[in-house]
A = this chain, B = another copy of it.
Amino acid sequence: MATVKSLLKGKMNFINKLEDQVRRANSLLCVGLDSDIEKLSGEKDQFVFNKKIIEATHDLVCSYKLNTAFYESTGHLGIIALKKTCDYLREKYPEIPIIIDGKRGDIGNTNREYVQFVFSYLGGDAVTVNPYLGEEAIGPFLDEKDSGIIILCKTSNPGSGEFQNLEIDGEPLYKSVARNVSRKWNKNNNCLLVVGATYPQELKEIRQIVGEDMWFLVPGVGSQGGDLKATLNAGLNKKRKGLIINFSRSIIFAGNPREEAIKLRDEINKHRNMTVG
């Protein structure tokens, strides 16, 4: 368990921090603060909106995820709201991991700048990155050994197969990504994968490739239509963990976000507690 001292002393290893919070909250639920300014009924400030969601859900989650797109769309004011949200979380709930969902990826020299943005300016604990440029380019992210580096593998969107499913020596590209990340990129034990809940069969195959220890960030259950039970059966490891199940719109824009989060956390736990079917 993380002590306050260890939390204050500096950054804790992401995977440890995540596993501590999973135990503490007994939850694999991640709330995605995709606080689209056009959908914030009555509220004009993304930070104020986020604070309400955080106060309503902080004891129910294993992590929060902030997708940069929903803040960049409102320019520098959105970036300020994003930073204020991260600052608030770090001060009030330093035990809860913050995932910055930016899907960044550039050449090495340039990725160092994104590292600054995500880990110094925002103070995030983890970031999503795109694998297309390869390990050598992603190096500045991977070198952040106490941060979580979450690599896109099989994404949740309907058209993700266009390149991700192309066959290389009889195997789809996403399996090459999973294998390379697991065998080569993960020298600091800080890699995770993004696998969409809309593809449970692929999730199962990826779990077989990377083994028991790697965590996956799994979007696509709520508004995108992925099946929760199938997702959990396919991706949970033997400890009935290993999946960060993200819900964004379906929680934050619900009539009662807390009730929705409790319902989803409990539904996830119900399946975790079942014998594997």
CB pair B155 A114 closer than 8 Å: no
State in angstroms the CA–CA spacing of A274 and B52 once bound together.
65
CB pair A166 B163 closer than 8 Å: no
Q: State which residues 70-95 of A face B: CB under 8 Å.
A: 70, 72-77, 79-80, 83
- Min CB distance A114 to B, Å, is 5
A55 within 8 A of B: no
CB pair B157 A107 closer than 8 Å: yes
Tell which of B75, B116, B156 touches A107, judged by Cβ atoms closer than 8 Å: B156
Nearest B residue to A138 via CB reads B159
A177 within 8 A of B: yes
CB pair A113 B72 closer than 8 Å: yes
CB pair B67 A106 closer than 8 Å: yes
Stretch at the interface among A1-9, A17-25, A129-137, A203-211: A129-137
Which residues of B sit under 8 angstroms from A110, Cβ to Cβ? 34, 67, 69-70
Q: Contact string, A130-149, partner B, CB cutoff 8 A, digits 1/0?
A: 11111111000000000000
Q: How many monomers of this protein are in the complex? A: 2
State in angstroms the CA–CA spacing of A117 and B34 once bound together.
15
Nearest B residue to A108 via CB reads B157
Most buried by B among A75, A103, A107: A107
The 27 sampled A-B contact pairs (Cβ below 8 Å) are A34-B110, A36-B113, A67-B110, A70-B113, A72-B121, A73-B121, A74-B116, A75-B79, A75-B117, A75-B122, A76-B77, A76-B80, A107-B224, A108-B157, A131-B132, A132-B132, A132-B163, A133-B152, A133-B157, A133-B159, A137-B155, A137-B159, A163-B177, A166-B173, A166-B176, A167-B168, A168-B173
Name A residues whose Cβ lies closer than 8 Å to a Cβ of B.
34, 36, 67, 69-70, 72-77, 79-80, 83, 103-108, 110-111, 113-114, 116-117, 121-122, 130-137, 152, 155-164, 166-169, 173, 176-177, 180, 224
